[in-house]
Amino acid sequence: MRNDGGGLDRIWFWFAAMSFVFLVVLAISPIKDYFREYRKYQIDYRDQLLERAGTSRELRDANREGVRIRQIWNPDYPNRVDRCTSCHLGVENPGMADASPPLRTHPMTPHTPEQFASFGCVTCHRGQGRATTMMDAHGLASDWATPMLPLRYTEASCGTCHMDEEVPEANLLSRGRTLMAELGCYACHEVDGHEAWESDAPDLDGLSRKTSPEWLRTWIADPQSVRPTTKMPYIQLGQSEIDSLVAFLWTRPAGEDDFLQDEENPAGDPDRGETLFRESRCISCHTVDGRGNGSAAELSGIASKVNRRWLIEYLENPHALQPETKMPRYYFTRQDLLDLSQYLMDELWDPEAPPPVEQAFRPPQKMVEGGMRTFRKYGCSGCHQISGLTDRSRIGPELTGIGRKPVDQLDFGRRDDLPRTLHDWIGAKVSSPRSFRDGLKMPQFILEGEDLTAVITALLSNTGEVIPEEYRVERVIANYDPPGRFGELVDRYRCLSCHEVEGVGGDISTAPLTVEGSRVQESWLKNYLLRPSTIRPILTDRMIPLRMPEEDAAFLANFMQNVYVDDDIPARLFSEEPDPANVRRGSHLFYERYGCQACHMIDGRGGYFGPLLDEAGVRLKPGWVYWWVLGSQRWRDDVRCPDYGVPDRDALDLAAFISSLGRTP
């Protein structure tokens, strides 16, 4: 009996114990649920909503907020759901702007708040959208390949869909992409969509006629010490590599050693040369001691770089020596060339340049061959054309997809000091490329501060991801060739180096020519081409006097007048002279209502950012003024003339007033 009782006891005991264990095991799930990270945020959020609720409706909405997983599901992306809003609860609620994260409102950006539902969070911020704990969701767990982007690189994500170089409202990304093109990253690295990149580095044929071996040596050794603004990087070459390169370059074609003698060009008048230099407005593109537009080469030190004979030849016809140059061909007389070159040679020499050597340079053949190998090894032909080397293969690794590379696929080499993150790796690669291993070839670029961040952002934007078609904003590559004789003249005067037509061309000039015929009067345009007058006194980069023959000017003006027109802009606004009353009213509107004189000067009164309007009556077409006043951003979207929302009647009167300026009735 006692034994039986004892046995039963034991059974009951185990029964109780096991039941209890089951209970504990069962409790794990609800307990885990109870301690979920998002739960405390969701409760906090509801409390804050209740606290802030002003209306009964807000109170009702607040009370409806329960504890649950919130998510954004975007069917356009395969398999993507973002549960970030389970903790980041206030992102869509502008009332939470002063709350602390994660409950705070998302700042207003081009895609928020309207497009939260279609973009989700991971599209821009990366991380692991499905996770519901912070470490996992932010992608900080070591097995997640794409951790969250630090906020300072978020613009990189704009670039996964926006393929253009300039992405609106993404300054840093646009800057980075522009820098990459300018610095010539695409010369060595293949990147999807940039196969057509073209370098604007000079052709290297004929250097022996242009410069001296000493100058070349100093330059190749460290270009930036000679000219800080140059885009050519510091290649970090050894002395023998430099010597062999110079030898190689000197034989393309074999040296004539022109730097030694110049008998056929008599001395010119440097004073007249200086006047010519100023009148020709060379600093509309070049700089002298840093002053000027800066889209063409710095000219100080040029006398130590080139010899006078080459300079004269170049000024006479730049296109014969550098077919791809952006420099127009001026019509200089022989005397002009002598004087101008004299001025440049006398004034713009570099005191630190190596002293000229008085003997011919005849490098041994072995050195020349070594130089060719060096030239190939460092991928010089990625940027520079030179005869005899036609293969312009890229020597660097392809960069498509670099912006999403998992960290464990990166080679950190010697850089143990680096945090193991993609952005830090890219940053170090870009700012000190040779520090990873010996034998690397990437040159040293000068990139600091925001520029470095910008380039990292641009690289991070290159994810090579497959983006649903409707999200992609393709890169537009404009293609336009001015036709016929007009095209020939445009080429000769290199109008497109400064002006834009149909999306093609430079942006030195503020005036695209696409609708020039609707804008200005033909007679004025012809005169302007012959003798450019000042329209914007404040600019350094003004229209250059090309000294073109009258016949060319007439042809150009006439062509633009007939072809570069826009039918939306009224060709003839007034059938007869406008009523003086309207002119008076226009004048009143100009000064009193819209305050146009803040920027435009008439008779020496007013600001001088906008164009002078003294002669606007002979320059502009009234229809243009009318169209302009009604919304000048239609012409160029960055025009600074504000859109006042001018009513039609005011626009007509303003046009009447402005077209009366500078005309003798």
Partner 1 sequence: MRKTTRILVYLAVGFGFVLAWLPAGRSLLFGSDPTDIDMNDSLQTEDIITDDAWRTPIPDLGYREREGRALFRHYCALCHGQSGEGDGFNAYNLDPKPRDLSDHEFQTAQTDEDLAEVIGGGGGDAGLSNAMPPWGKVLGERKIGYVIAYLRTLADSLPETD
Partner 2 sequence: MEPHEDKNKGDLSRRKFFQTAGITACALVSGGASILGFDFLRPRVLFELPTKFTLTRPDAIEVGSVITDEPHHVYVARSSHGFRALSSVCTHLGCITRYSPDEGIIACPCHGSKFALDGEVIAGPAPRPLPCLQLDLSPSGLIVVDTSIEVPQETVFKL
Nearest Cα to Cα of residue 331 among 533, 488, 493: 493
- Using CB under 8 A, which of the segments 108-116, 158-166, 249-257, 457-465 binds partner 2? 108-116
- CB of residue 20 to partner 2, shortest distance in Å: 5
Tally of CB atoms within 10 A around 149:
21
- CB of residue 140 to partner 2, shortest distance in Å: 22
Rank residues 172 and 338 by Cβ distance to partner 1 and give the closer one.
172
Rank residues 2 and 572 by Cβ distance to partner 2 and give the closer one.
2
Q: Does 594 bind partner 1 (CB under 8 A)?
A: yes
Question: Which residues, numbered 406-445, are part of the site for partner 1 (CB under 8 A)?
Answer: 417-421, 423-424, 427-428, 431
Question: Which residues, numbered 67-126, are part of the site for partner 1 (CB under 8 A)?
Answer: 100-102, 107-110
Q: Does 172 bind partner 1 (CB under 8 A)?
A: yes
Encoded one letter per residue, x for contact with partner 2 by CB under 8 A and - for no contact, window 17-36 reads xxxx-xx--xx-xx------
Residue 305 has which token pair?
């770089």
Q: What are phi and psi of 267, to 5 degrees?
A: -60, 150
Query: Is-contact 328 319, C-beta < 8 A?
Result: no
- Using CB under 8 A, which of the segments 61-69, 254-262, 289-297, 539-547 binds partner 2? 61-69
- How far is Cα 318 from Cα 335, in angstroms, rounded to an integer? 17
Q: Which of 71, 118, 132, 133 binds partner 1 (CB under 8 A)?
A: 133
Q: Which of 65, 92, 214, 346 binds partner 2 (CB under 8 A)?
A: 92
Nearest Cα to Cα of residue 219 among 245, 180, 199: 245
Q: Which does 81 bind (CB under 5 to 8 A by kind): partner 1, partner 2, none?
A: partner 2
Q: Number of C-alpha atoms within 13 angstroms, CB side, residue 68? A: 5
- CB of residue 71 to partner 1, shortest distance in Å: 20
Q: Which does 419 bind (CB under 5 to 8 A by kind): partner 2, partner 1, none?
A: partner 1
Q: Which residues contact 556 (CB under 8 A, 6 or more apart)?
A: 486, 489, 525, 526, 529
Q: Does 13 bind partner 2 (CB under 8 A)?
A: yes
- Using CB under 8 A, which of the segments 73-81, 151-159, 474-482, 543-551 binds partner 2? 73-81
Residue with tokens 């009647």: 649
- Using CB under 8 A, which of the segments 93-101, 155-163, 199-207, 232-240 binds partner 2? 93-101
Q: Which does 172 bind (CB under 5 to 8 A by kind): partner 2, partner 1, none?
A: partner 1
State the number of binding residues for partner 2 (CB under 8 A). 36
Distances (CA, A) of 16 to 21, 57, 164, 193: 9, 52, 71, 71
Tally of CB atoms within 10 A around 477:
11
Q: Which of 40, 43, 63, 73 binds partner 2 (CB under 8 A)?
A: 73
Burial class for 613, CB neighbours closer than 10 Å (0-12, 13-18, 19+)? buried
- 288's enclosing H/E stretch is strand 287-288
Burial class for 228, CB neighbours closer than 10 Å (0-12, 13-18, 19+)? exposed
Q: Does 8 bind partner 2 (CB under 8 A)?
A: yes
What is the DSSP secondary-structure string of 383-395?
Answer: T--BTTB------
- CB of residue 92 to partner 1, shortest distance in Å: 16
Q: Does 621 bind partner 2 (CB under 8 A)?
A: no
Q: Which does 117 bind (CB under 5 to 8 A by kind): partner 1, partner 2, none?
A: partner 2
Rank residues 109 and 265 by Cβ distance to partner 2 and give the closer one.
109
Rank residues 75 and 580 by Cβ distance to partner 2 and give the closer one.
75
CA angle 409, 411, 413 (to 5 degrees): 155
Encoded one letter per residue, x for contact with partner 1 by CB under 8 A and - for no contact, window 479-518 reads ----------------------------------------
Q: Which of 439, 449, 484, 665 binds partner 1 (CB under 8 A)?
A: 449
Rank residues 128 and 251 by Cβ distance to partner 2 and give the closer one.
128
- Using CB under 8 A, which of the segments 114-122, 438-446, 457-465, 501-509 binds partner 2? 114-122
Q: Which does 606 bind (CB under 5 to 8 A by kind): partner 1, partner 2, none?
A: partner 1
Encoded one letter per residue, x for contact with partner 1 by CB under 8 A and - for no contact, window 536-555 reads --x-----------------
Exposure class string for 581-607: b at 16+ Cβ within 10 A, else e? ebbebbbebbeeebebbebbbbeeebe
State the number of binding residues for partner 1 (CB under 8 A). 71
Question: Which residues, numbered 601-630, are part of the site for partner 1 (CB under 8 A)?
Answer: 601, 605-609
Nearest Cα to Cα of residue 188 among 371, 406, 425, 433: 433
Q: Which does 607 bind (CB under 5 to 8 A by kind): partner 1, partner 2, none?
A: partner 1
Cα–chain center distance at 15: 76
Residue 168 has which token pair?
């609106």
Reported in sequence order, the residue ranges of 406-560 that DSSP labels E, i.e. its strands, are 500-501, 504-505
- CB of residue 80 to partner 2, shortest distance in Å: 10
Q: Does 140 bind partner 2 (CB under 8 A)?
A: no
Q: Which does 146 bind (CB under 5 to 8 A by kind): partner 1, partner 2, none?
A: none
Q: Which residues contact 594 (CB under 8 A, 6 or more apart)?
A: 644, 646, 654
- How far is Cα 433 from Cα 238, in angstroms, rounded to an integer? 17
- How far is Cα 187 from Cα 175, in angstroms, rounded to an integer? 18
Q: Which residues contact 195 (CB under 8 A, 6 or more apart)?
A: none
Q: Which does 478 bind (CB under 5 to 8 A by kind): partner 1, partner 2, none?
A: none
- How far is Cα 655 from Cα 623, in angstroms, rounded to an integer? 7
Q: Which does 133 bind (CB under 5 to 8 A by kind): partner 2, partner 1, none?
A: partner 1
- What are the contacts of 322-325 at 24+ separation with CB within 8 A? 322/202, 322/203, 323/203, 324/200, 324/203, 324/385, 325/202, 325/494
- CB of residue 293 to partner 1, shortest distance in Å: 17
Q: Which of 381, 453, 497, 514 binds partner 1 (CB under 8 A)?
A: 453
Q: What is the CA radius of gyration of the chain?
A: 34
Q: Which does 47 bind (CB under 5 to 8 A by kind): partner 2, partner 1, none?
A: none
Query: Is-contact 397 281, C-beta < 8 A?
Result: no
The residues of the shown chain that bind partner 2, judged by CB under 8 A, are: 2, 5-6, 8-9, 12-13, 15-20, 22-23, 26-27, 29-30, 58, 61, 68-69, 71, 73, 75, 81, 83, 92-95, 113-114, 116-117
